[in-house]
Amino acid sequence: MTRETTAQAAAAAIDLDLLRETARAMGLDAWLDARALRAYGRYAAELVAANQGLNLTRINGPRDMAVQHVLDSLICLRGLDPEVRRETPLRLVDVGSGPGLPGLALKIACPEWQLTLVESVGKKADFLRRLTELPDLGLAGTLVLAARAEDAARRVEHRAAYDLATARAVAALPVLAEYLLPFLRVGGRALALKGAEAAAEARSAAGAIAKLGGELLAVEPYRLPGLDQTRHLVVIVKRHPTAPAYPRRAGLPTARPLG
């Protein structure tokens, strides 16, 4: 694409003015700058183009792209330790990344972070790798793993190696805890974007979280502009090392969730 056609595609893909306004209204605008907004435009244009063949997302309109994809991902920033700043170099793993959310949206906002995207579907992983090669997204050094979370978390270079682990629309919380917590160092945080039933999921996941070395820190409700449903950011802190038995082999966390 030429610079002009790239700008046109971005304008058609995402409402950046709405993103800026809604981020300000939700207290997240300090994490955005002109570079980040340009990168979100390019990312949205690439996502819309690839979605025609890959079925990466059902959310395509420019307003929904701004609010339901990027802004919803940036909500994870509310779950950080208060001492963390934009320039703080953290290691983030995003599990079940799909179109790259929330991981890519967070990396664009916080370019100093080191990002690993875990996506088991090969075609989606290939799309994510193509994105990391675009210089105007600022994703150099981002690692894409075409793997199941259960397998990736058993690799020595990834186990207990991350400050943050994120996921959105991946699994129920008892299952998700087994996916995320093995990746985290002690003191790290799992940030899960969940729907209206998050409080009930958190109660059902209490045993699993404890077995995996975690502690539920918060279930924070939030509303996205223009949407009626209350969503929740679930924050789990890693208090103790995860036992070597976890995660169990691929498929078992879903088939037999920890109690």
Express each pLDDT in 186-231 by its tens digit.
Answer: 999 999 999 999 999 999 999 999 999 999 999 999 999 988 899 9
β-pairing verdict for 143-145 and 114-118: parallel
Q: What pLDDT does 88 receive?
A: 87
pLDDT less than 50: residues of the chain: none
State the Cα–Cα distance between residues 136 and 171, nearest whole angstrom.
Answer: 32
From CA 184, how far away is CA 225, in angstroms rounded? 32
Q: What is the pTM of this model?
A: 0.94
Report which of 236, 231, 120 is spatially closest to residue 177, judged by C-alpha positions: 236
pLDDT in the model for residue 59: 76
Predicted local confidence at residue 252, as pLDDT: 95
CA distance 246 to 154: 8
| Spatial CA neighbour of 59 closest among 177, 214, 168 | 168
pLDDT at 60 (0 to 100)? 76
**pLDDT at site 54:** 79
- Give which of 98, 238, 248, 241 is closest to 178, Cα–Cα: 248
